[in-house]
Amino acid sequence: MHLLIALKAFFLVLFNGRLSSQVNDVLVHRSEPAGLPTAVPSQSDETPTVSSFAEKTLPAKGSSGHKPAVAKPVKPARSEALTLLAALQREGRLLDFLKEPLTDYSDAQIGAVARDLHRDCGKLVERMFNVQPLLTEAEGAAIEVPVGFDAARYRLVGNVGATPPLKGALIHHGWQATVCELPVWNGSDAAAKVVAPAEVEVK
Amino acid sequence: MSQYVIGIDLGTTNSVLAYAPLAEETPQVQILPIPQLVAAGTVESLSALPSFLYLGTAAEAESKSLDLPWSANRDFAIGTLARRQSAEMPDRTVGGAKSWLAHSRVDRHQAILPGNAPDDVQKISPVTASRRYLEHLVAAWDSAMPDAPLAEQVVVLTVPASFDASARELTREAALAAGLPVGLILLEEPQAAVYAWLDETGDRWRKMLRPNDTLLVCDVGGGTTDLTLVGVAEENGELVLRRLAVGNHLLVGGDNMDLTLAHFVSQQFAEQGVQLDPWQSVSLWHSCRAAKEALLAEGGEATHRITIAGRSSRLIGGSKSIEIARQQAADLLLDGFFPQCALTDRPARRRASGFQEIGLPFEADTGITRHLAAFLQAHGTHGAPVRPTHLLFNGGVFKAAGLQNRLLELVGNWFAPTETGSAREKPVALPGLHDLDHAVARGAAAYGLAKQRGGLRIRGGTARSYYVGIETAGLAIPGAPRPLRALCVAPIGMEEGTEADVPSGEIGLVVGEPAQFRFFSSSTRKQDSIGDLVPHWTEEEISETDSLETTLPADDTLADDYVPVKFHARLTELGVFELWCNSTKNDQRWKLEFSVREDTE
């Protein structure tokens, strides 16, 4: 099993520039002398770009010296969830779509709008979270669940009481964010709950 | 002590910053995420900074909605927000500042942008706009890397190959004002694309190219098209690269294509009785870019539906859509911008009229292929055009694979093996350059590394020859100006780090008065060497740029009213062209500067 994963990893790293730099990062972090202050744990599995994680958790000095660090950690003036919702509305009109009753429209009308929404919101999610399958095996393939697995990574159904290591078929490969780069909002407190401003054309 | 090399692509529509640490054994070039306003009060870090500047209202400045992490009380915005504003409020938004830099018919220091700004807007000059984009990049870097200020790093800034000496000097001026280091290196964009390709392929490029190969770099940006030829030769068993020629500054690019498609689509909407407002026009523009890529992809869709959402909160109810067929898009874009043409075809000439509106000199002929044909013909020898063996595509436009294929097909037809001709293979596309949006910045950083560590460099020297206008002495004819001749002060291919006296007669400079010289350049006259006097030329061959001037101080050491001088040309290691007047009587010398008026802001 280890050999298979190692081979798979080898080819993935060879042909995927992004992954290879991630792997390199993991290796670099591992090889640090134990005496140095350790990097923030979440850092090792993110791509080396500025993220809002980095803003809240300054990387320890000496670790990965060439990564951008943001000088002043800014405490967001409103929930990041609202900032994300505002971005989805701004770039993909998601809120307009969800708030509109569908009963009046044909599937073709909805479909036409959904295509653009899919493209624009999809791009945004890709940019901010770069979501990748959690497992690289094909769905339907036989896989082995490691001993002492993390219940947040694997959700088991069926004969879950069997003796480990557990074997089964992969139903859904799962998703995970590889980055988390949300916009930072620094507007006034009064506007903290505004998701989209009212638009007025001045005559 | 520099810790990084930084490559900056100051683009017409997008700017990108790439960097690599100098200390590492195998440094990886990375892209710096640039924090920028994406909406009022909302900052996001993105890999590119759109080169747009929005001049805000007093209310926006007071509500602090244009503030950045590193700067408070701002009354302008740069980047994504400014680009969004450009459609709805064009008279408050500056775009295309870079194209203005190369436009020598206007004073680039004068506050002329945005063109139709209302009275409450403080206009700015093209140089100031460029400076602000660079200041934004500097601030983004400095706040990300507080221990390694940008001013102390090795910085490479790219310029279009077609920029002449004065446009380069203005770029440099904006860069130094923005806080870039004095040791700033200027690099031509198509060369940067080649460095990006070399960096991407590693050592494998030595197997892909052979001596006597010729690379044609087609760099089609948002607003400009840049053509460059790079030759491969063998020296002491090693392959070396040499830049052979660059094309003229062509003001046509990917944005023109998207707008053409958008114009076509909005007419279709108009036929359905739907009029689009400016906001919808922007969203149409973006949809058309996506449509272009989808329809011109290899094995792309036969039809593509373009939907314009309603302006109000009723998204579905207010939306209208139409379908465009692959053939329609191909007719519009391929035939409009990459038309089939013969190698002997030439671009249509601009109609000269007595009255010209002040504005950018957009190309009269948008057929890039005709410009390419003229370019290959102009740089051939013995009347035969240059025959490229490889094509390297750069610029986001080429994400639409159909455009790459059209160029390849056309160049292939131009140089098809004939029965009488040689049986050489057709030109092929070089594999690689997948990161079309960031390749120039990446290549600039890779070049900085090569320069620091002694890696492979493209040689070439100046892409243009430079001339000073000299009025010929002779019988004066009343009412007619004296005939003008062009004295070549620098030939094409003058190498960086060299200087030379210009052989000529003595020229008298009057003390205490500005002495002004008309200044010309050519990208095609390879036959001229330093000191040659050119009696006649056409506008296509030699074009006039900003004049040069110097003022000799009224000095006691100067006995006469005028000083006899000769010209001395110098190209610095950093690629800056300088022209000096050396006294023929003593060691005194004066540098000629491009005529610039005071900043009127």
Enter the ipTM. Answer: 0.73
- Structure token digits, residue B510: 């009057």
Q: What share of chain B is helix, strand, coil (3-state, %, to 5)?
A: 30, 30, 45
Q: Tell me the average pLDDT of chain A.
A: 73
Biggest CA pair distance of chain A: 74
Position A33 scores a pLDDT of 37
* Residue of chain B whose Cα is closest to the Cα of A127: B46
Quote the CA–CA distance of B239 and A146 in Å, as a whole number.
52
Taking contacts as CB-CB distances below 8 angstroms, the residues of chain A near B290 are 119
pLDDT tens digits, B340-350: 999 988 888 75
Q: Where would I find the H helices in B102-253? A: 126-144, 165-177, 189-201, 205-208
Identify the H or E element spanning B10.
Answer: strand B4-10
Of B123, B175, B94, residue with least CA distance to B601: B123
Give the pairing type, strands B589-594 and B543-551.
antiparallel
Q: Where would I find the H helices in B303-430? A: 326-337, 368-378, 401-414
**Which of A45-59, B81-95, B130-144 is the most confident on average?**
B130-144
Do the beta carbons of residue B392 and residue B217 sit within 8 Å? yes
Of A72, A104, A119, the CB nearest to B317: A104
Position B508 scores a pLDDT of 80
pLDDT tens digits, A121-171: 999 999 999 999 999 999 999 999 888 888 899 988 888 877 778 889 999
A109 touches chain B (CB under 8 A): yes
- Structure token digits, residue A50: 């500025």
pLDDT interval class at A43 (50, 70, 90): very low
* Residue of chain A whose Cα is closest to the Cα of B80: A91
Does position B599 have pLDDT exceeding 80, yes or no? no
Cβ neighbours around B462 below 10 Å, total = 22
Mean pLDDT of B539-565: 77
Phi/psi at B49 (5° precision) = -110, 110
Quote the CA–CA distance of B35 and B42 in Å, as a whole number.
10
Tokens 């969830």 belong to A81
Position A8 scores a pLDDT of 57
Position B193 scores a pLDDT of 93
Report pTM.
0.81
Mean pLDDT of B52-70: 88
What letters, b where the CB count within 10 A reaches 16 and e where it falls short, cover B419-437? eeeeeeeebebbebbebbb
User: Are residues B309 and A93, on separate chains, in Cβ contact within 8 Å?
Assistant: yes
Residue A171 to residues A93, A135, A142, A158, B324, Cα–Cα distance (Å): 32, 11, 10, 12, 39
Tell me which of B43, B45, B120, B276 to substitute to probe the interface with A (most A C-beta atoms closer than 10 Å). B45
Does position B12 have pLDDT exceeding 90, yes or no? no
pLDDT interval class at A97 (50, 70, 90): very high
Residue A107 to residues A91, A134, B476, B488, Cα–Cα distance (Å): 23, 33, 83, 71
Of B63, B145, B316, the CB nearest to A105: B316
Distance from CA of A159 to the nearest CA of B (A): 46
pLDDT tens digits, B254-293: 888 888 888 899 888 888 888 887 777 777 887 888 888 8
Distance from CA of B66 to the nearest CA of A (A): 9
Does position A64 have pLDDT exceeding 50, yes or no? no
Quote the CA–CA distance of B439 and B11 in Å, as a whole number.
12
Query: In this predicted structure, which of A51-60, B139-148, B330-339, B561-570 has the lowest mean pLDDT?
Result: A51-60
Residue B171 to residues B109, B553, B592, Cα–Cα distance (Å): 12, 28, 18
Side chain identity, residue A91: E
A155 touches chain B (CB under 8 A): no
Residues 6 or more apart whose CB falls under 8 angstroms from that of B249 comprise B102, B160, B162, B163, B224, B226
Query: What is the SS3 assignment for B450?
Result: helix
Quote the CA–CA distance of B212 and B197 in Å, as a whole number.
19
Mean pLDDT of A55-81: 52
Of A91, A99, A156, A100, residue with least CA distance to A118: A91
A72 touches chain B (CB under 8 A): yes
Position B559 scores a pLDDT of 63
Do the beta carbons of residue B140 and residue B32 sit within 8 Å? yes
Rg, chain A, Cα only: 22
Does position A2 have pLDDT exceeding 60, yes or no? no
Residues 6 or more apart whose CB falls under 8 angstroms from that of A60 comprise A36, A37, A38, A39, A40
Of B502, B507, B549, B505, residue with least CA distance to B528: B502
Quote the CA–CA distance of B157 and B181 in Å, as a whole number.
11
Query: In this predicted structure, which of A38-52, B313-327, B554-568 has the lowest mean pLDDT?
Result: A38-52
Cβ neighbours around B350 below 10 Å, total = 12
pLDDT interval class at B59 (50, 70, 90): confident
pLDDT tens digits, B285-308: 878 888 888 888 777 778 888 888
